[in-house]
Copies of this chain bind each other. A is one copy, B any other.
Amino acid sequence: MVSKRYPTSIEVARLAGVSQSAVSRTFTPGASVSARTREKVLAAAETLGFQPSLIPKIMLTDRSGLVALVVGGLENAFYARVVQSLAACLREAGNQIVLVPVDSDYTLDAVAARLAQYRVDAIVSALAVLSQDAAETLSASRIPVVSFNTPVTAARVGSVGSDNALGGRQAARLLHARDVRHPAFVAGPAISPASTERLTGFREALREAGRPEPRVGGSAYTYEGGAEAATQLCAEGPVDGIFCANDLCALGTIDALRRAGRRVPEDVRVIGYDDIPAAGWGGYDLTSFDQDVPALVEATLAMLARMSATDAAAGERVLIPPRLTERGSTRA
C-alpha cells in the first residue's frame, strides 16, 4: 500500500469541530486560543497523528530552516568533529543540516543548484579545497556561503579558518628550540591553501631563527601520503624534524620513519596539525595544533547570521589562533 497522505489541519478541525484557523493557532506558539479550543484541537490531533507540515511555511517565507553542509573527507576525524559540532549548534538554533559529501569540484556544480531548489538558508563549505570556480557557482545561488578553512573570495562568500601561518611559525619555533638542523615539511595537496599557509609560516620563522630552508614533500592529506612523503624525504637527505600539514599525514610519517629505523622523537621530531584523537594514542603521542573547533564553529555561525541579516560580512575572513598541544613526538 502506498503511503497514505499525512493528516491535515482541515481534518483535525473537522474532527475537533472547530475551524482550520483554530488548529493553526493552536500550533503557533504565541497565538490566542481559548483553553477549551486548544484542548479539543490537541485531542483531535493526537488521535489523527497530526504533525503540522513545515512545507507551506517555507513556501510563504522562502526560509527552509535548512543549512547545507558540504564536506569532503569525513575519514579525517577533524572534519567529523566539525560536522558534529556544527550540527549540534545549528540544531540548537532550530535548523536542520543537509549533508552534502562531495568528491570533487565537479559534483559541486550540480549540488549547488539542487540546494537552491530546496531553498536552503545557508551553505557551509568544509572542503579542504574549494576552487574559485566552485565558489562562484555557490555564490551564484544567491545563498550566503561560509567557506570553512579555505580563503576564497566571492560575493556572498565569507571564510573562517585556523590561523595556519601562525601555526606554521609556532611549529618552526618549537623545532628550533629542539635544535633541529634539517627541517622538512610534509604537505597536503598543492592547491590546499591551508597546507600552503602552514608552510609559509613555517618557512618564515625558520628563516628568522637562522635555520635552513625546509625540504618539502607530499601531496595528500592522508596517512599513506604522509608515509610516502616521509620515506622519500629520508631517502633524499638528512632529516631531524618534520612539520606535517595535518595529523593523518603525521601519523603516516611516524610509522614510515620507524619502518626506516628512525626513532621518534630521538632521531626525528614530528609535529602535526588538527589534534585528532589518534594523535594522543600511545603508539604515536603526536605533538599537534588544536584548531579550536568550538571557536571555529562559533565564528562560522556568527558570520552566517551577519550575512543573512545584511549583505555585510561577505568577503570577510576570520582567523582563529591554533593551540599547540605538546606531546612525546617533540620531546627534548
Residues of chain A having any CB pair with chain B under 8 Å: 1-6, 49, 51-56, 58-59, 62, 64, 66, 69, 74-75, 77, 80-81, 83-84, 87-88, 91, 96-101, 113-114, 116-119, 140-142, 223, 227, 251-252, 254-256, 258-259, 277-278, 281-284, 308-311
* Pick from B74, B113, B118: contact of A83, CB under 8 Å: B74
* Pick from B53, B84, B91, B116: contact of A74, CB under 8 Å: B84
- Bound Cα distance A166, B308 (Å): 53
Instruction: List, in ascending order, chain B residues with CB within 8 A of A117's CB.
Output: 51-54
- Bound Cα distance A62, B281 (Å): 48
Contacts A55-B55, A59-B56 given; does A80 touch B75 at CB 8 Å: yes
B99 near A49: Cβ-Cβ < 8 Å: no
B3 near A62: Cβ-Cβ < 8 Å: yes
- Bound Cα distance A203, B97 (Å): 42
- Bound Cα distance A75, B87 (Å): 14
In the assembled complex, the CB of A14 is this many whole angstroms from the nearest CB of chain B, namely 19
* Pick from B74, B96, B119: contact of A80, CB under 8 Å: B74
Can you report 16 A-B residue pairs in the complex whose CB atoms are below 8 A from each other?
A2-B309, A3-B142, A6-B119, A49-B140, A53-B59, A55-B58, A74-B81, A91-B100, A91-B101, A96-B114, A98-B99, A223-B277, A227-B282, A252-B281, A255-B283, A258-B283
Instruction: List, in ascending order, chain B residues with CB within 8 A of A283's CB.
Output: 254-255, 258, 281, 283-284
A96 near B96: Cβ-Cβ < 8 Å: no
Instruction: List, in ascending order, chain B residues with CB within 8 A of A282's CB.
Output: 227, 255-256, 258-259
Instruction: List, in ascending order, chain B residues with CB within 8 A of A277's CB.
Output: 75, 223
Instruction: List, in ascending order, chain B residues with CB within 8 A of A252's CB.
Output: 281
B101 near A51: Cβ-Cβ < 8 Å: no
* Pick from B55, B258, B309: contact of A119, CB under 8 Å: B55
